[in-house]
Structure 1
Amino acid sequence: MSKAQQREQMSNGAGFIAALDQSGGSTPKALALYGVEESDYSSDAEMFGEIQKMRARIILADEFTKNKVIGAILFERTLGEQIDGRKVADYLWSVKGIVPFLKIDKGLEEQANGVQVMKPIPGLAETLAKAEGVFGTKERSVIHEANAEGIAAVVAQQFDVAREVTAAGMIPIVEPEVNINSATKAEAEDILKAEILKNLDQLDEGQDVMLKLTIPNKANLFDALADHPRVLRVVALSGGYSTEQACDLLSQNGKMIASFSRALTEGLSKQQSDAEFNDALGSNIDKIFRASV
């Protein structure tokens, strides 16, 4: 595995990052949209088995190639799974040429100061040491209101974790999501941009990050972040927008590419034949790719 090749692909590759990192909290919802009801499984193990089948079906699909998908974010349990006899991260890079990332956050604390910071991440050093073949990580917090104190806390925590990740030789995707339904979304984004710039300026040479941000109300608001020497790439989350909406908004931001989860899997169903599934997935991939490039 060439880190240099992967870095080049993440910095300059044309395409987007597929977010395949549904965790315990979001899995039932993702499965229900895919046509798997809660009555179809009776334990966490069975539930994760179903979501792994869905992920494998996506990864194995003909349309899921490095020509349009340059990276993919995985859930921790997925690292232990296999596709065609290879560990998923290895399969992604060795067979598909897609750069693997790992979601490392353990969910969110209760809301305070208009934000939700990340819960502690126990055993992070150990997780990073064991994440064989993984290029980088992703960690998410959420901002609900334009509260300067809350936003500063979210960003400070994100960059503390980012330093731990870069120390392990990996690239963190810093994700301070702004809730798309926030009444003060535009104001929150202005505060967030300033906080991120301040924290980026404090990083040392070699402490490089990626940023995963909600598509801003003001088009191209985050260009200065994309141009910062410590930033490899700025990617956008779909945040609950439909595929159409997310792609439309993203296409107005020239320096952001997509990292969509729900918008990628919209309209996919377990009940579809492989041909129908590939057509639906291919259509989503194509829309997201066009909006990204």
Structure 2
Amino acid sequence: MQQRQFDQMKNGDGFIAALDQSGGSTPKALALYGISEDEYANKDEMFDLVHEMRTRIITSPAFHSEQILGAILFEQTMDREIEGMYTGDYLAEKKGVVPFLKVDKGLADESNGVQMMKPINDLDETLKRANERHMFGTKMRSVIKEANPEAIKAVVDQQFEIGKKIIEAGLVPIIEPEVDIHSPEKEKCEEILKEEIQSHLDQLGQDDLVILKLTIPTVANTYKALIDHSNVVRVVALSGGYPTDEANEKLTENKDLIASFSRALTQDLNVHQTDDEFNDTLQKAVDAIYRASIT
């Protein structure tokens, strides 16, 4: 672990940009960007287009470490280059932004009100490559839709079981048990989730560090005890489908919770914008998310 990057993630002002749309979510991300599915013939062309989009974002003057602490990458993005450098190296060396890698393989079918992660059969190899590509940490996502205590426990058990393997590989895991913002039991889910996460944190070794990525809670400051836990580098919030303005408003109500937004960061960007229009639009989003993260 690089000490400078750790200090940046632990103490820096700013937020994490989530640029990790994978195979299933890439068509939606491209459509939002103004590229429809009839504009590419296969997955290779689709991934080329989304890398062009991410490259445009990362190389923009609006994307910099004074406001953006880290960025989460899809595996293909990690293995591709920007201006002759692997994406993680470009982020770290040219932008001063800490790189993370999405390692999960997507969600299993819903069962008992939750979606666990699919098996990550190549985890050891992926973590080896993440270290070779100079990633600081990883990210993996589950989803909770109902206040089922046993199912929520299973989600958190799975997250921390894999998280410990990531820690052993010398990386910092972003543990992301998302609570669906449309759940009619959202507040109750969050209370159960908080207790489960607290229990797992208390069982970690002194030097075992994690980042938590959680849905902005219904009750402000629900996760303050987790933010203050000695094993937690940072607690970051996913936008969960909230529009940017609403996500930012909710974020400002939570002390020391910072953003890790995806759609809320990029929703107004368009492939047909001029570079000036694109950079201005991105800067406005970055400014708004940054302000909400430091409030």
Partners of 1:210 and 1:129 in 2: how far apart? 20
**Residue of structure 1 in register with 2:136 after alignment:** 135
**Residue of structure 2 in register with 1:188 after alignment:** 189
Partners of 1:81 and 1:127 in 2: how far apart? 15
Alpha-carbon shift at residue 80 of structure 1 (Å):
1.3
Q: After superposition, where does 1:21-170 map in structure 2 within 5 Å?
A: 21-131=20-130, 132-170=133-171
Alpha-carbon shift at residue 206 of structure 1 (Å):
1.4
Q: After superposition, where does 1:271-290 map in structure 2 within 5 Å?
A: 271-290=272-291
**Residue of structure 2 in register with 1:241 after alignment:** 242
Alpha-carbon shift at residue 21 of structure 1 (Å):
0.1
- Runs in 1 of length 4+ with deviation above 6 angstroms? none
**Residue of structure 1 in register with 2:224 after alignment:** 223
> Secondary structure at 2:254's aligned position in 1?
coil
Partners of 1:245 and 1:274 in 2: how far apart? 27
- Letter paired with 1:116: Q
Partners of 2:292 and 2:56 in 1: how far apart? 24
CA-to-partner distance for each residue in 1:220-242, whole Å, 9 max, x for gaps? 11000000110000000000000
> Secondary structure at 2:236's aligned position in 1?
strand
Partners of 2:292 and 2:166 in 1: how far apart? 29
Partners of 1:129 and 1:261 in 2: how far apart? 26
- Letter paired with 1:129: K
Q: After superposition, where does 1:174-185 map in structure 2 within 5 Å?
A: 174-185=175-186
**Residue of structure 1 in register with 2:212 after alignment:** 211
Partners of 1:220 and 1:255 in 2: how far apart? 9
> Secondary structure at 1:217's aligned position in 2?
coil
CA-to-partner distance for each residue in 1:60-111, whole Å, 9 max, x for gaps? 0001000000100000001111111100000000010000000000001111
Partners of 2:112 and 2:267 in 1: how far apart? 33
Partners of 2:151 and 2:29 in 1: how far apart? 29
> Secondary structure at 2:50's aligned position in 1?
helix
Q: Once the two structures are aligned, what percentage of the paired residues are identical?
A: 55
CA-to-partner distance for each residue in 1:173-217, whole Å, 9 max, x for gaps? 000000000000000000000000000011112111000000000
RMSD: 0.6
Alpha-carbon shift at residue 23 of structure 1 (Å):
0.3
Gaps of 5+ in 1: none
Partners of 1:47 and 1:249 in 2: how far apart? 34
> Secondary structure at 1:73's aligned position in 2?
strand
Partners of 1:108 and 1:63 in 2: how far apart? 32
CA-to-partner distance for each residue in 1:227-259, whole Å, 9 max, x for gaps? 011000000000000000000000100121000
- Letter paired with 1:80: D
> Secondary structure at 2:45's aligned position in 1?
helix
> Secondary structure at 1:71's aligned position in 2?
strand
- Letter paired with 1:142: V
TM-score by length of 2: 0.98
Alpha-carbon shift at residue 272 of structure 1 (Å):
0.3
Does residue 12 in structure 1 map to residue 8 in structure 2? no
Partners of 2:105 and 2:208 in 1: how far apart? 23
> Secondary structure at 1:138's aligned position in 2?
strand
